[in-house]
């Protein structure tokens, strides 16, 4: 089961997107675990993740996190997808990045 982690400033602004992503995964019969965390939790959650999606508020941390976790897939959530709270689009982005 794939573990998809979303990171933002406090872990709350992405919670609605996580809910929509879970709905999209259920509709596609895609087994995964999707959770949102604050940036402060990054060191404890990134090592366990298959992919890390960054909210716009922490997009600036992308290079730093990629350097710290070179074996992990880390990328910013597409701004349009994030702004529209498009769970299906965010899940599709994660799956593309994991080459599924």
CA distances from 42 to 72, 88, 90, 98 (A): 12, 24, 19, 19
Domains along the chain? Answer: 2-97 (3.40.50.2300)
Average of pLDDT values for 12-37?
A: 95
Residue 40 structure tokens: 């402060």
> pLDDT digit string (tens) for 7-18?
999 867 789 999
For residue 100, name the pLDDT band (cuts at 50, 70, 90).
confident
Contact between residue 65 and residue 46 where contact means Cβ atoms under 8 Å apart = yes
The SS3 assignment for 12 reads coil
> pLDDT digit string (tens) for 56-98?
999 999 999 999 999 999 999 999 999 999 999 999 999 999 9
Tell me which of 6, 8, 18, 25 is the catalytic residue.
Answer: 8
Give catalytic status of residue 32 as yes or no: no
Contact residues for 68 (Cβ-Cβ < 8 A; gap 6+): 46
pLDDT for the residue 17: 96
- What is the reported pTM? 0.94
pLDDT at 37 over 80: yes
Question: Strand (E) positions, the chain?
Answer: 2-8, 32-38, 51-54, 73-76
């Amino acid at each position: 089961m794939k573990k998809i982690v979303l990171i933002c400033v406090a872990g709350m602004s992405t919670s609605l997107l996580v809910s929509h992503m879970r709905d999209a995964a259920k509709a596609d019969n895609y087994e995964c675990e999707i959770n949102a965390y604050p940036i402060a939790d990054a060191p404890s959650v990134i090592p366990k993740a298959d992919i890390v999606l960054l909210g716009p508020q922490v997009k600036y941390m992308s290079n730093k996190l990629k350097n710290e976790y070179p074996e992990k897939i880390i990328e910013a959530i597409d701004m349009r997808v994030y702004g529209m709270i498009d769970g299906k689009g965010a899940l599709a982005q994660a799956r593309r990045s994991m080459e599924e």
